[in-house]
């Protein structure tokens, strides 16, 4: 099978021909239809935050069709369309993450544990459904972590793929959303998706200090975490989703005296994945797609995503 692989940390992905994986007794073989590209895939290629054994196949936003069942699998049929929950407990009990610590779906086939699969609703495109595995479930989980109420003032720093979904979810709750980004196209799309206002980081800091009940940070840099602290009201909550190796600049004195809540949010549960797919089926959650590409274009797509010039997710289609 064809696959895009990390063979050396920091080097471009290589298009390789690999043996088709064989599912174990509790696993299924899935033929990949589509797989989104996420910043975590860039982290894997660059060896930051995640360092799997090499060679490694990244890709953790897949949708596909069951091709074969392991000998002990029941309740599933060949031909069913599925999305995997990424966090898997292996038979020996240790945690694995599809596309991160074990081979993923930048390939024509991937293997996943049967108990981790969720069926794709019949009216949801696989191109959108695969994004539920990371972007969709991450947005649903972050909204739950944010504990948003109707009428809350919500700022979303980073109006890209996950940010677009947070805008939609916050809008449906009845929150007043301000989308913050440097990318003008992303801000225009955010307005169409339900953001009441849009702003650049600079303009938001100048005009909206301490005015938000909840602030979502989709970037996670020292600059954006400081911006989140500048924007949130006293006793407000900051939800950090974006990851980087930079330190927060806010002091414990500021956090204590302003009684700020700072919570992390990472992916979500299998139940929240099913919820994301249900919301897609109902039309309440629509991932923003920048474009679709072939597997051979996956490495330059990672670089483009890192540049911040994309407007939504780039999706590999097989």
- Please give the full DSSP string across 37-51, using - where no structure is assigned: --HHHHHHHHTSS--
Spell out the domains of the chain, with CATH numbers in brackets: 2-134+268-317 (3.90.180.10), 139-264 (3.40.50.720)
Of 33-37, 134-138, 168-172, 307-311, the one with minimum mean pLDDT is 307-311
Consecutive H or E run containing 68: strand 62-69
When pLDDT is averaged across residues 275-298 and rounded to a whole number, the result is: 96
Task: Please provide the average confidence, as pLDDT, over all residues in the chain.
Answer: 95
Nearest 10 degrees: Cα torsion 261, 265, 270, 276: 90
Map residue 65 onto helix, strand or coil: strand
Q: What is the pLDDT of residues 130-155, one digit of tens each?
A: 999 999 999 999 999 999 999 999 99
pLDDT over 90 (residue 93)? no
Total count of residues recorded for the chain: 318
What distance in Å separates the CA atoms of residue 173 and residue 140, rounded to the nearest whole number?
Answer: 12
Nearest to 284, CA basis, from 177, 116, 139: 139
SS (H, E, C) 123-169: CCCHHHHHHHHCHHHHHHHHHHHHCCCCCCEEEEECCCHHHHHHHHH
What distance in Å separates the CA atoms of residue 43 and residue 121, rounded to the nearest whole number?
Answer: 31
What distance in Å separates the CA atoms of residue 61 and residue 155, rounded to the nearest whole number?
Answer: 26
What positions carry a catalytic annotation?
Answer: 40, 43
Model confidence band, residue 91 (pLDDT cutoffs 50, 70, 90): confident
Work out the angle at residue 254's Cα, subtended by the Cα atoms of residues 252 and 260, and round it to the nearest 5 degrees: 90
Model confidence band, residue 245 (pLDDT cutoffs 50, 70, 90): confident
pLDDT over 90 (residue 248)? no
pLDDT at 42: 92
When pLDDT is averaged across residues 210-227 and rounded to a whole number, the result is: 96
Q: What is the pLDDT of residues 57-87, one digit of tens each?
A: 999 999 999 999 999 999 999 999 999 999 9
pLDDT at 131: 97
Q: What is the pLDDT of residues 4-53, one digit of tens each?
A: 999 999 999 999 999 999 999 999 999 999 999 998 999 999 988 788 89
Nearest 10 degrees: Cα torsion 39, 40, 45, 50: 150
pLDDT over 90 (residue 311)? no
When pLDDT is averaged across residues 150-173 and rounded to a whole number, the result is: 96
Model confidence band, residue 310 (pLDDT cutoffs 50, 70, 90): confident
Q: What is the pLDDT of residues 179-209, one digit of tens each?
A: 999 999 999 999 999 999 999 999 999 999 9
Model confidence band, residue 90 (pLDDT cutoffs 50, 70, 90): confident
pLDDT at 307: 85
Model confidence band, residue 308 (pLDDT cutoffs 50, 70, 90): confident
């Amino acid at each position: 099978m064809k696959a895009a692989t990390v063979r050396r940390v920091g080097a471009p992905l290589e298009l390789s021909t690999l043996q088709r994986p064989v599912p174990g007794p509790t696993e299924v073989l899935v033929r990949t239809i589509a797989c989104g590209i996420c910043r975590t895939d860039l982290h894997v290629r660059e060896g930051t935050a995640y360092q799997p054994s090499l060679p490694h196949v990244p890709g953790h936003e897949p949708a596909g069709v069951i091709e074969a069942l392991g000998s002990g699998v029941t309740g599933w049929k060949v031909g069913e369309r599925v999305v995997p929950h990424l966090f898997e407990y292996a038979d020996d009990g240790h945690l694995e993450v599809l596309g991160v610590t074990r081979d993923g779906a930048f390939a024509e086939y991937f293997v996943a544990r049967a108990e981790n699969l969720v069926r794709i609703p019949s009216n949801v495109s696989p191109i959108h459904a695969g994004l539920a595995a990371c972007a969709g479930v991450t947005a649903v989980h972050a909204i739950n972590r944010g504990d948003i109420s109707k009428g809350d003032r919500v700022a979303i720093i980073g109006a890209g793929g996950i940010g677009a979904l947070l805008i939609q979810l916050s809008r449906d709750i009845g929150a007043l959303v301000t989308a913050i980004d440097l990318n003008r196209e992303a801000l225009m799309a955010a307005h169409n998706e339900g953001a009441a206002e849009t702003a650049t980081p600079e303009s938001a800091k100048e005009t909206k200090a301490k005015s938000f009940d909840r602030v979502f940070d989709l970037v996670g840099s020292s600059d954006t975490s400081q911006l989140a602290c500048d924007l949130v009201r006293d006793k407000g909550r900051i939800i950090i989703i974006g990851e980087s190796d930079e330190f927060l600049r806010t002091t414990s004195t500021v956090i204590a005296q302003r009684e700020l809540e700072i919570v992390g949010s990472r992916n979500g549960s299998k139940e929240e994945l099913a919820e994301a797919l249900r919301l897609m089926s109902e039309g309440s959650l629509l991932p923003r797609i920048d474009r679709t590409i072939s597997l051979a274009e996956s490495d330059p797509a990672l670089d483009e995503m890192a540049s911040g010039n994309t407007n939504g997710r780039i999706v590999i289609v097989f």
